[in-house]
Structure 1
C-alpha cells in the first residue's frame, strides 16, 4: 500500500486462541527504500537532522516515537512493536479514501478539522522549520549523483535536469521567505491514501476519519501542509495501467472549495486565536489563500524531487519519473 512502504495485514488462524489482550490481527509495515537509504550520509547544512539522512535511521526512530505519542492521544493507530525494517501497528477496519472523496464537502470539512487539531499539538521535537528545505537539499544532492542504465529513463531524467532545479529551488526559497506562514506540527502528506474512513461510522459522523502514516511529519510551515493537501485533489494513485497514476489538474480545489476548508480549519483553531470580527476573518482567509497556494508550489517541488530519487531506489511498480515530470509541470504552470 502507498508509494513509500509495503503493508501487510497479518491475522491469527481461527483455531489459534489469543493470549490475554493480544490482538488477533495487526498491520505489518515494512519501510520502503527511501526510508532506509544512505543512513550514514552526512547531513546537509541546516537540515534539522543529526548524523543521518532525512529519511534515515534517526528519522525512523523519531517517527516511532511520534507514532506512539499520537496513539496515546487517540489520534492514530496503536503501536505494538518496532524492528529495524518496520513495525507492527493496530489494524483498523476501514478503507482509505479515494481521490474523488476529497471533494466531498463533509469529508473536506473533517479533514480540515483533523488537520487543525494536528497543527495544535505540541510535540517533543525540534521546532525549527528546517525539514522542508533541508530535505529538498538532501534530495537534490542525491539526485546530482544519479545515473540511469535504461535509455528511456535517461531521457526522462535529462529532461528533468533541464529545469535547473538548484536555481529554481533558490527562487522558491526567496518566494516562501516573503510569505508569512505559522510554524506548526505538520503531517506533510495528507493525501487520500493516508486518511482512513473508519468502518461502523455513519456518513454523517464528524469523527469518521483518521490520519495515518506519519513518516514525513515534522514542524513545518502551515501553508505547506494545506497546500500539499490541495495538490492531492489532482492525483489518483490507483490508476490500473502505467504509469499507475492519473493527474487531473481541473480537480484542484476552486476558491470556494478552498474557503470551505479554510473556514472549518479556522473554526477549530478559534480557541487558540481568540475572537475575530467579520472583517478580520475575511482578511485572514484572503491571506491564507495566498499563503497556501504559494506553498503548494513547494509541494510540487518536494514530491517532484522525491519521485526522481524513488525512480532509482524503489522496488514499487510506479512511474516515478513520469510523476516527477507531472509535479514539475504543475509547479511551473502555477508559478
Structure 2
C-alpha cells in the first residue's frame, strides 16, 4: 500500500484526514526541522513564511512539501523545496528505523532514490522530486511493466550491508501476530480475525513450505544455507554507481529442473488441512528485495534525465526492503495490480480481482526481468521456456505470503492509525484473496 511507514516514535503532528488542512502546530514543527537540518536560506525564513502543504498518498506516513518563499534568495546550494516525512503508527522498533535510514542513504548515493537531507527521531527530510505516483491501472501498461521488471532485477542485484538471512518475512508476521494478540479488549473484533481465518495455522504452513529448510538440496551450492544472500550465485557484485549491468549469467542450480524424486507424488490433488508440501518445489533465490513495489511507490518523473523509458520511473520508499525471497517481491507486485487506493469512497480502496495479471502479462514481466539477469547468457529455447514456467509457479505461490503479510499489517493499522481508510475491510480482502489464490494453485 502506498507509503506504508511505521516506527516506535509518537507522531508530533496530527494525522492528515482526507480534505483536511495542515495545523498550525504542524507548520511550526516543519519550520523547526527545516531550519535545523537544511541551513542556508532556511535559517532566514520566518515560521509564518514557510510554505508547507500536505502531500496525498500516504496510509501510514504523513507527508508534507516544504518550500522557501520566492523573496528569500538562496545562500548556497541548499534545496528550495523538500519532502518532510513524519513517521506514523507504532509497528516497528528503533533498530528498524536506523536500518531504514542507512538504507535510504545508500540508495540515494547510488542514484537509486531521492537524496536524504536530514534524519531525526520523528521522521526525515528528503529530496522533493517533481513527479506523480503511478495509478494502479498503469501497472498493466506493457512498457511500464517492462521498466518495473528491469528496475526490480537491478534492485535484486544489489549487495547491502544487512543480514543475508531471509528472516524478515516470517519474523515480521510473527511480530504482527504478537501485537494483535496484545490489543485491548475494545479491539476484540480484530483479534477474532486471527481465529476466523486460522491465520496462525496458515502462517505455520507457509513458514514450513517457504522457509530455507524447504529448499531442495540441489539448490544449495555446497552446504545448507550457503545460498542465503548470494542473490544470483556465480556473478560477482558490482557497486552500481550508477548501475553497471551484470557480467555473468545465471547460476544453473537455481533454475535447474527439479529432480522428480524430490517432487511430491500426490500434488495433483489438494489434501484437506494445511500441513502439505504445497510449495516444496518452489526454490526462490534470496536477494535484496524492495518488498513493496506497488503503484504508490513508483514515481513517474516530471523531468527525467532522458526520454528513455528506464529514466522515467523511480522506485521509492524502502522501509520494508530486506534480504528476502525473490518470489515474494514479484508475487507481491502482481497482487498489487488488484488494488486501487485512489477510490474516493469508503473503504477508500477497490479490490478488482480481474486485474490480477494474466499469464501473458506475467510472462511479459518475467521475460524482461530475466533479460536483465541473463544479459550475456542466451539459454536454449527449451531452457528459456523451462525458466519461465518455473518462475510462473514460484511467484504465484509466493504471492500467498503477500496476502497474509499485508492483511496482518492492516489489522494493526486499524488499531493504531487515525488515517481515514478501511483497514479491516482491506485485511479481510487480503485474507480472502489468499484462500482464493491458494485454491487456484492447488492443481500445480
TM exceeding 0.5: yes
Of the candidates 90, 93, 101, which is equivalent to residue 127 of structure 2? Answer: 90
Q: Distance in 1 between matches of 2:134 and 2:127?
A: 18
Indicate the residue corresponding to 2:347 in structure 1: 243
Query: How far is the alpha carbon of 1:132 from its aligned partner?
Result: 0.2
Q: Distance in 2 between matches of 1:203 and 1:247?
A: 33
Indicate the residue corresponding to 2:86 in structure 1: 30
Q: Is the 8 A contact 2:173 2:405 kept in 1?
A: yes
Query: How far is the alpha carbon of 1:274 from its aligned partner?
Result: 3.5
Please say if 1:297 is aligned against 2:389. no
Of the candidates 303, 307, 310, which is equivalent to residue 413 of structure 2? Answer: 310
Q: Is the 8 A contact 1:160 1:325 kept in 2?
A: no
Q: Distance in 2 between matches of 1:207 and 1:63?
A: 24
Can you give the 5+ residue segments of structure 1 that lack an aligned partner in the other structure?
38-54
Indicate the residue corresponding to 2:361 in structure 1: 257
Of the candidates 112, 118, 129, which is equivalent to residue 81 of structure 1? Answer: 118
Query: How far is the alpha carbon of 1:90 from its aligned partner?
Result: 0.3
Q: How many residues align?
A: 312
CA displacement, residues 242-291 of structure 1 (integer Å, 9 cap, x when unaligned): 111110000000000000000000111114x8332211111111111011
Q: Distance in 1 between matches of 2:343 and 2:409?
A: 20
Indicate the residue corresponding to 1:52 in structure 2: none
SS in 1 for 2:293: coil
Counterparts of residues 4-19 of structure 1 (less than 5 Å): 4-19=60-75
SS in 2 for 1:296: helix
Q: Distance in 1 between matches of 2:403 and 2:184?
A: 23
Of the candidates 154, 175, 180, which is equivalent to residue 209 of structure 2? Answer: 175
Indicate the residue corresponding to 2:374 in structure 1: 270
Q: Is the 8 A contact 1:148 1:312 kept in 2?
A: no
Q: Is the 8 A contact 1:263 1:285 kept in 2?
A: yes
In terms of fraction of residues, the more helix-rich structure is 1
Indicate the residue corresponding to 1:119 in structure 2: 156
Query: How far is the alpha carbon of 1:203 from its aligned partner?
Result: 7.2
Indicate the residue corresponding to 2:8 in structure 1: none
Q: Distance in 1 between matches of 2:105 and 2:123?
A: 14
Of the candidates 144, 163, 169, which is equivalent to residue 181 of structure 2? Answer: 144
Please say if 1:102 is aligned against 2:143. no
CA displacement, residues 223-255 of structure 1 (integer Å, 9 cap, x when unaligned): 000000000000011111111111000000000
Structure ID, larger Rg: 2
SS in 2 for 1:33: coil
TM-score, normalised by the number of residues in structure 1: 0.90
Counterparts of residues 124-135 of structure 1 (less than 5 Å): 124-135=161-172
Q: Distance in 2 between matches of 1:237 and 1:148?
A: 30
Query: How far is the alpha carbon of 1:164 from its aligned partner?
Result: 1.4
Please say if 1:192 is aligned against 2:229. no
Q: Is the 8 A contact 2:147 2:309 kept in 1?
A: no
